Every structure is written in C-alpha cells, then in structure tokens.
C-alpha cells in the first residue's frame, strides 16, 4: 500500500476529486495547508503598509491506495491538478509524493491491509 | 416640586441659569434621546472597527478596551463627571463636581416637570454627553493594541477621563448658560468653534494615544512582522456602525430636531463621502490599489474632520474638509514608521490629524450662512476665527500631552503598563481575559469540569478527553480490532 500525498491549488480540488473518483479512489483526506515552493508570494496593503505573503494557501490531498493502483492514481491526480490545457502547467501547481504504508486498519470492522484501503 | 416650576438650585446653592423646568419639547427630546443611542452604538462600533484590525489572538482585548471605556466612564460620569464638565465653572477651567454630583438636580422628581437643558430634559443631555466621554476614552485604545495590561488600561481610562477629558470637555462644551451659569474658557471666552468635539474628542484622544503609545513602547516585531488585520469584514461592520452613530454624534449636538440638525447631517454625510474618495485616490496613486481598509479609514477621517465644523460651513466647505482630511490622514498614517512610535491602529494619524484639520479649517471655511457659523478667512471674516481655532487646538494638545504623560508614567510605576513578552507573543486575549475569540475546531480544547459540576465523573475527566464521558469510553471498547490487531485498550 502506498500513501499518495498531493499539495495542490485549492481551486483544483474539484477536478482532482473527480479524477480520483474516476480512477476508483473514493476516500480521501483533504486539509487546508500553507507553505511555499517555487511560487513567489504576493503583497497585501493595509493603510499603505505592505504585508508580504509568501506562505500560500494550498490543499493537501491524502489517499491510501493499493500498490497496483499507485501509478494510475498519481497520473490522474497530476493531470487534474495541472493548470491550463497544455502539457506544462504553471509554477504553484503543487507537488505529489508517494510513501510506503506499513499497515492500514479500518476502524469500523478491524479489517487490515488492502481490504481496509 | 409638586407640580410647580422646578427651581434650578444646585446643592451648593448656586442658582443655575439654564437648567430650567417645564414640559420638554417632544420632538427635540426624541431626537436627542435617539442621538444618545446612536452615539452609544459608536463605542461597540469602534470595538469592531479596531477589533478587526488586530490579529485574531488579540481581538477580544481590543473589543474589551472599548466596552470597558463605556463602563468606567459611565459610572464616573453620573457620580461627578457630568458636574465636572457642566457644573458652574471654576475660572473657566473645570466645572464644580459637586453641583450635580450623582445627578442631583438633574432628574425629575416624582410626577413633577422635568429639569430642562434648553428644551430637552436635562437627563437626556446627560446621557447624550456621557456617550461622548466614553467614546473619547475608547478611541485612545487603538494606539495600544496587543500589549497593554487590561488592568492598567482600566485604571488609565478612569484617571484620564477625570483629569483630561472632564476639564477639556468643560472648556469646549460648557457654554455659559447652557447648563450652569459660567462655562469653560474655550467656548465661552475664546469663542473657538467646536460643534461636536474636534478638540475635546479627537485632538484630545489623538494626543493621549500618541503619549500612551510612546510610553508603552512598540509591539514586539513591529515593522519586522507587520500585524495584518485579521478580519476586514468586521472592520467594515464597525465603520458602518461608527458612520451611523456619527449621525447622532454631530446632528444630535444641535440638541433640537430642527433645521440646524438637518444641515449638520448633510455636512456630516458629504464630508465622510469625500473623505472616503480622497483616501482611495491617495492609495491608488501611492500604492496602486484602493483598499477596503482605506475606504473605511477615509470615512472616519472625513467624519473626524467635519465634526468641529459641521454647523459652521456650507456644502463646499464640508466637501473640502472631507477631501483634505481623507487625503492628509492617508498620508499621515505612515508618519509613525518614520518617527518610531507604534500607534497601532492610527489614532494619531486619523483622529489627531483629522481633528486638527477640521478645527483649523473652520477658521478658513466657516460662513455666517451656516447655523452657528461666523465668517472665516475665505468668507470675508479675516483671520480672527482662525487664530481662535488655533489657540483652542494648541491648548488642548499641550494640556492633554502633559497630563497624559504624567498619568501614563504614574500607572507604569504603580502597576506596570505592558503584559509579559511571552503573553504578547501568545496573544493578549489569553493572558488578560482567559478567552480566545474563535473556536478553530473541536481539537482546540476540552472542557475542564469544575468541582461539583453535576453529571461529570471527575476521576475519569482528569484522565483525558475520552475519559470525560463514561459512555463514550464504553463505546471505545467495542471498537476492538479483530484479526490480529491490538486488543481493547
């Protein structure tokens, strides 16, 4: 099993959700997070005082999937989260990473492993 | 006092000239009572205006400073404050605090006629003026956001009201014969025009804010870590209430529902409109954007500027005062960064500067065509009124600066002014009020049951969140993991 974690633009969340659903992944955990990568910040103005905001609000999507489904899920997620219509999106579109998961337990039934995913 | 004409005799035997008796004018009374309510709304409005401008971890303290000003001043006002402002004057400097102590001689007795100020019940005038005193004190708090001990604020607020606001309000508002025979020197002798408090309220509070912010010192991280307003919608609600309340503040000061009140209202509204636009234009040119906070600030700047002038200028004068106030205050709020005092929410930049502009421009734009106007410099009256305005403003500034400094240093020496550095970083709401404004989620805290609270098993509660509810703890055990997992905990 793998944990697929994606940091995406919040506005891309609907498309990502639909893409994951089409790829057979219905459960997910979404968190509003803040952070920064290569994307530059923006400046806000309050009575002429500039306030530099370089921690961007992003959505973090986490899904646990079976090993066999990882590539398809990641591909679907990346395609949905990328901005624009071309092959290359824009700075700030986000990042996806995959980590190994030792065990999964479904709380309701106590099922383990792939059955619980 | 059984149905006969009420004799306006103060407890010390001074026969008052203007507190007469009889049946009040219903329309005038209704307007002043409503105006008192409108002005009262300004203090919570200010609380929201200021509260939205501070960080989320300080908003309750900011709101509390405004609300507490209403509490402290309200009590002092009825005990002796009203008398210290409107009692018979001692040399034009202060009203006799015993004339109307505990509102003696002010309230109607039994079914008898009400004591009157002009054509309204004296009690209506008392409560209307109480609201002025409260919001003046509350205004100061914008300069000390995030870092002042609440206990120190309460003590400061009370002492400042007594030693600074009451005398200055006497100078500016207590006209000869308005309530008592002899009034304050600025209005009665100098004849400076301050219809609704440009000097007594805005310049006074602005100077106090400058002094207190300086004595208190800058916030931790000031300039390196800007304090971004945490809720601009709250700011806009606050400024809307302020604008609404200002109708009573200025127009109610006519003490009558008449043409003067209507004229004052026109000037008040148009100056605020012009102030908003002027601030936005300055921002657009200087910063490239016209901001929400700028619009709100421009409205307040315009209102502050027109406050002393609203009954003595025409529409052109009101528009000019609004534009100049809005533009000048927009530029003035940046001065604190150059001079190094942390006037957190720009009380100096808006209220002191706006108050000065309005007070001085009366000397230029006043016209005898307005309800209480005389001709100013631009209307053929020469510089006579201008120097009167300048002297009045300067006197208030000097007095407020000196006495506020003494008060601030004394409070700092006795009980300290600032919260601990750790509390300032963690947020002043928690250390001063044991509260936080916003519940960010269910994991943010848990109930700590008080001893003897019915229905709580304390031994379980003390062991943790889940243990607080025996039923929930029992359910947990049913969720045992099967198939080789861990057993029930």
- Asked whether the beta carbons of B139 and B103 are under 8 A apart, the reply is no
Mean pLDDT value of segment B43-65:
97
* Per-residue model confidence (pLDDT) at position A48: 86
What is the structure's pLDDT at B424? 92
Report the sign of the C-alpha dihedral through residues B240, B244, B246, B250, in that order.
positive
ipTM of model over 0.90: no
**pLDDT the model gives residue A54:** 85
Asked if B446 is an interface residue toward chain A (Cβ–Cβ < 8 A), one would say no
- Mean pLDDT (chain B) is 89
Task: Tell me, yes or no, if B480 comes closer than 8 A to chain A by beta carbon.
Answer: yes
Per-residue model confidence (pLDDT) at position B225 = 78
* The length of chain B, given as a count of residues: 489
Mean pLDDT along residues B306-318: 98
pTM > 0.95: yes or no: no
**What is the spatial distance between Cα A103 and Cα B381, in angstroms, rounded to a whole number?**
90
Q: How many CB atoms lie within 10 A of CB B57?
A: 19
- Structure confidence at residue B452 (pLDDT): 61
Minimum distance, in Å, between the CA of residue B173 and any CA atom of chain A: 33
B122-140 and B204-216 helices cross at what angle (nearest 10)? 30
Q: Which residues pair with A34 in a beta bridge?
A: A57
* Residue B294 Cα, gap to closest chain A Cα (Å): 6
From the list B226, B286, B483, the residue facing A110 with the nearest CB is: B483
Counting one residue from A and one from B, how many pairs have CB atoms under 8 Å apart?
A: 45
Span B457-472, mean pLDDT?
45
Q: Pairing mode, if any, of strands B114-117 and B120-121?
A: antiparallel
Name the pLDDT band for B386 (thresholds 50, 70, 90).
very high
Q: Which of residues 40-59 of A touch B (CB under 8 A)?
A: 44-51
Distance from CA of residue B72 to its chain's centroid? 13
- % of chain B at pLDDT higher than 70: 87
Of all residues in chain B, the one with the smallest CA distance to A115 is B483
**Mean per-residue pLDDT for A48-76?**
92
Chain B contact present for A110, CB below 8 A: yes
* Model confidence at B15: pLDDT above 80: no
Q: Quote the pLDDT of residue B457.
A: 52
Q: Does B301 touch chain A (CB under 8 A)?
A: no
Q: What is d(CA B353, CA B189) in angstroms, rounded to the nearest whole number?
A: 25
Above 60 in pLDDT, residue B464? no
Mutation target vs A (from B53, B296, B483, B486; most A CBs, 10 A cutoff): B483
Dihedral pair phi/psi, residue B5, rounded to 5°? -65, 130
Contact (CB<8Å) A48/B333: yes
User: DSSP per residue over B393-460, as a string?
Assistant: HHHHHHHHHHHHHHHHHHHHHHT-SB--HHHHHH-HHHHHHS--S----TTS----PPTT-TT--HHH
Among candidates A47, A51, A112 on the partner chain, residue whose Cβ is nearest the Cβ of B294 = A47
pLDDT, residue B18, reads 55
Beta carbons of B46 and B250 less than 8 angstroms apart: no
**Residue B234 is encoded by which pair of tokens?**
């709250």
Q: Does B485 touch chain A (CB under 8 A)?
A: yes
Chain B CA closest to residue A103: B485
- Digit-coded pLDDT (tens) for B115-128: 999 999 999 999 99
Question: CB distance from A111 to chain B under 8 Å?
Answer: yes
> Please, which pLDDT band fits residue B445 given cuts at 50, 70 and 90?
low
The answer, for B291 touching chain A at a CB cutoff of 8 Å, is: yes
Structure tokens at B147: 């870092």
Helix (H) or strand (E) holding B89: strand B89-90
Please state the length of chain A: 117
Asked if the model's pLDDT at residue B467 lies above 50, the reply is no
Contact at 8 Å (CB) between B14 and B98? no
């Amino acid at each position: 099993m793998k944990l697929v974690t994606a940091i995406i633009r919040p506005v891309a969340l609907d498309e990502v959700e639909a893409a994951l659903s089409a790829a057979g992944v219905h459960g997910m955990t979404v968190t509003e997070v803040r952070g920064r990568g290569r994307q530059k910040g923006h400046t806000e103005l309050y009575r002429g005082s500039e306030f530099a905001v370089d921690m961007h609000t992003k959505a973090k999507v986490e899904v646990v999937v079976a090993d066999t489904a990882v590539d398809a899920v990641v591909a679907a997620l990346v395609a949905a989260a990328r901005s624009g219509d071309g092959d290359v999106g824009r700075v700030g579109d986000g990042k996806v990473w995959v980590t190994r998961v030792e065990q999964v337990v479904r709380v309701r039934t106590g099922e383990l492993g792939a059955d619980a995913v | 006092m059984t149905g006969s004409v009420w004799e306006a005799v103060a407890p010390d035997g001074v026969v008052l000239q203007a507190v007469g008796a009889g049946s009040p004018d219903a329309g005038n009374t209704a307007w002043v009572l409503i105006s008192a309510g409108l002005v009262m709304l300004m203090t919570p409005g200010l609380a929201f205006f200021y509260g939205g401008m501070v960080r989320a971890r300080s908003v309750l303290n900011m709101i509390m400073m405004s609300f507490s000003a209403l509490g402290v001043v309200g009590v002092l006002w009825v005990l002796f404050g009203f008398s210290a402002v409107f009692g018979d004057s001692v040399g034009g400097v202060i009203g006799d605090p015993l004339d109307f102590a505990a509102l003696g001689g002010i309230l109607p007795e039994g079914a008898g006629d009400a004591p009157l100020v002009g054509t309204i019940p004296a009690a209506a005038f008392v409560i209307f003026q109480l609201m002025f005193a409260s919001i003046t004190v509350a205004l100061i708090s914008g300069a000390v956001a995030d870092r002042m001990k609440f206990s120190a604020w309460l003590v400061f607020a009370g002492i400042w009201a007594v030693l600074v606001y009451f005398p200055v309000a006497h100078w500016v508002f207590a006209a000869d014969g308005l309530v008592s025979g002899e009034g304050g020197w600025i209005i009665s002798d100098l004849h400076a025009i301050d219809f609704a408090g440009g000097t007594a309220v805005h310049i006074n509070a602005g100077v106090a804010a400058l002094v207190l912010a300086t004595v208190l010192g800058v916030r931790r991280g000031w300039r390196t870590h800007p304090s971004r307003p945490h809720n601009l919608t709250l700011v806009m609600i606050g400024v809307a209430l302020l604008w609404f309340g200002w109708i009573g503040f200025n127009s109610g000061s006519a003490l009558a529902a008449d043409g003067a009140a209507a004229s004052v209202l026109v000037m008040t509204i148009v100056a605020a409109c012009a102030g908003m636009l002027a601030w936005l234009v300055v921002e657009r040119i200087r910063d490239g954007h016209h901001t929400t906070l700028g619009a709100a600030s421009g409205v307040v700047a315009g209102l502050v500027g027109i406050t002393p002038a609203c009954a003595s200028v025409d529409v052109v004068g009101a528009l000019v005062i609004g534009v100049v106030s809005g533009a000048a205050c927009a530029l003035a709020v940046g001065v604190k960064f150059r001079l190094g005092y942390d006037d957190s929410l720009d009380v100096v930049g808006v209220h002191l500067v706006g108050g000065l502009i309005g007070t001085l421009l009366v000397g230029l734009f006043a016209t005898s065509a307005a309800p209480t106007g005389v001709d100013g410099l631009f209307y053929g009256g020469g510089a006579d009124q201008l120097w009167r305005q300048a002297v009045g403003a300067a006197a208030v500034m000097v007095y407020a600066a000196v006495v506020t400094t003494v008060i601030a240093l004394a409070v700092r020496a006795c009980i300290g002014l600032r919260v601990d550095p750790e509390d300032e970083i963690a947020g002043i709401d928690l250390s001063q009020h044991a509260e936080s404004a916003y519940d960010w989620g269910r994991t943010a805290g848990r109930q700590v049951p008080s001893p003897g609270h019915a229905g709580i098993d304390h031994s379980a509660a003390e062991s943790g969140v889940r243990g607080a509810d025996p039923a929930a703890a029992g359910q947990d055990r049913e969720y045992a993991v099967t198939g080789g997992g861990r057993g029930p905990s």
